Structure 1
Amino acid sequence: MTSLLRLSTPSDAHRWSDERRRDGQSIGLVPTMGALHRGHAALIERSQALCDRTVVSIFVNPTQFDRSDDFDLYPRTLDDDLALCDSLGVNAVYMPTVDAMYPDGFDTTIDPGSLAHRWEGEHRPGHFAGVATVVTKLLTAVQPHIAVFGEKDFQQLAVIQHVVRDLGLPVTVVGEPTVREDDGLAMSSRNVHLAPDARAQATSIKQAIDRALDRSTSTGSPSDIVEQVTTDIQQAGGTVDY
């Protein structure tokens, strides 16, 4: 592995960004929580296509987890993550500690509004406030021109776009299409936690969506399509939350 530049504090990231900006270079940021896979690689490559320099942040953010056990079990593969970043030619990795991000006395939370309280937000109270807060801190530290997020977490992408717009942050948020396994399952760091039977069932989500797309071009009404997607997933053994 080459000497991949590692930034540990907000001031480190700020200083690095200032130097790049003084040289007239554009900066792309790919925020992650680590456990990187081919989906993250696509985000990195998109940033590299758009910007002169690319930073990947790796930070498992405790404030966006509604259960402590979920935080504790989140996969952490730092050595592999750094190797992937190095192989892709990432310019710097921003790896702040929890204390660096949330020092003693930190008491500010960004509430993204009504968008954050429905769908996923209804099932994970406080999740999107944690996401909005940490992403704002990452953007403030790295000062990128562009930040790239996956469309897999589509509500998260919408929340971040909403926050950036409302706060007037000087960054363009770019969405990157979902990268999938060969059988259609969306790539996710959490897929490693799926038991074999659940892993097999999970492919029904993409299959149901594909059938819904076919129906949307015919005579099916929106409510009929939603009902059929729900039925397809339930028949495969899944549960639809929203």
Structure 2
Amino acid sequence: MQTVTTLDMLRTAVAKLRADGARIALVPTMGALHEGHMTLVRCAAAEADHVVASIFVNPKQFGPNEDLDAYPRQLAADAALLESEGCALLWAPAAAVMYPAGFATNVSVTGVSEGLCGAARPGHFDGVATVVCKLFQQVQPDVALFGEKDFQQLAVIRAMARDLDLTRPHVDAIIGVPTVREADGLAMSSRNRYLSPDQRGASAALPHAMQAAIARIEGGDEVAGTLAALQAELVAAGFASVDYAALADSRSLAPLAMLGPDPARLLVAARIGGTRLIDNMAVGPARR
């Protein structure tokens, strides 16, 4: 595996990979890799001839009081993991390469970016859209893979790619990969390492409470009351607060007051100690 840190190096390496019309899959990450990321790499390898992964802790998607400085950085260990999975190229730019002096462009996606994490983290999805747009332009992949754990992020990226013609028409070049979970159901996340042992044990209440809420909603219980009970259950289990617990349309992410015939998603963000955990699960027709 080759690691590159400048745009010139990246373009030269990608051109070599593209020889003879080879397909390239991109897996964008912020590092601190875990089995969820490795699943993305394996899925990418099944979609293309070569996998390009990026590691960049993007300052534009962190708020002023968030964990940019504390976010785990372990480039050597991450590179070894990627190489073990057959990744061909690692793009690991510094912030000054991605955002050189005078950088003044912002990509904003309305609609699906509003509400949920968009409301709780103002500017977050502008930062995501901007950096992913740059990654698409830099690598120009045939396909790109993202985890469904960040379901709203996936919706934002799909909308941006469609609106800015970043992928070929009628080609599903943005592939969502199902959430990878720990044995107790907790969604894998780089931020899980922030949890103390007690917090880690309590955090399993999140997927369990969500599964119970889904069963009640699919059984016909009233949505608002079920979501309120879900939040109360998380607080009782040791979570400090719940940013949101929402039932939403799977495509538009518009909030739903009741379960209809179309696929829906239960999305939750909750804080335990100083760590913010997010999760989502399919509800209704998508599960059958």
Q: What range is the shorter-chain TM-score in?
A: over 0.9
- State the number of aligned residues: 239
Structure 2 counterpart of 1:108 = 105
Structure 1 counterpart of 2:55 = 58
CA shift, 1:197, in A, is: 2.5
Structure 2 counterpart of 1:186 = 187
Structure 2 counterpart of 1:198 = 199
CA shift, 1:13, in A, is: 2.3
CA contact (8 A) 1:29 1:56 kept: yes
* C-alpha distance in 2 between matches for 1:34 and 1:117: 26
Structure 2 counterpart of 1:141 = 138
CA contact (8 A) 1:6 1:93 kept: yes
Structure 1 counterpart of 2:258 = none
2:209 matches 1:212: no
2:82 matches 1:85: yes
> For structure 1, which segment, 191-200 or 75-84, has the greater mean C-alpha deviation from structure 2 after superposition?
191-200
SS at match of 1:220: coil
> For structure 1, which segment, 80-89 or 9-18, has the greater mean C-alpha deviation from structure 2 after superposition?
9-18
* C-alpha distance in 2 between matches for 1:185 and 1:115: 25
Structure 2 counterpart of 1:241 = 243
CA shift, 1:122, in A, is: 1.4
Question: Kindly, what percent of the aligned residue pairs are identical?
Answer: 45
When the two structures are superposed, what TM-score results if normalisation uses the length of structure 1?
Answer: 0.93
* C-alpha distance in 2 between matches for 1:146 and 1:5: 20
SS at match of 2:41: helix
* Unmatched tracts of structure 2, length 5 or more: 245-288
When the two structures are superposed, what TM-score results if normalisation uses the length of structure 2?
Answer: 0.79
More helix by share: 1
* C-alpha distance in 1 between matches for 2:136 and 2:212: 38
Structure 1 counterpart of 2:224 = 223
CA contact (8 A) 1:11 1:141 kept: no
CA contact (8 A) 1:10 1:142 kept: no
- Alignment match of 1:117 (pick from 114, 118, 121): 114
2:32 matches 1:31: no
2:164 matches 1:167: yes
More strand by share: 2
* C-alpha distance in 1 between matches for 2:242 and 2:76: 36
SS at match of 2:21: coil
CA shift, 1:201, in A, is: 2.0
* C-alpha distance in 2 between matches for 1:69 and 1:206: 24
* C-alpha distance in 2 between matches for 1:7 and 1:25: 20
CA shift, 1:26, in A, is: 0.6
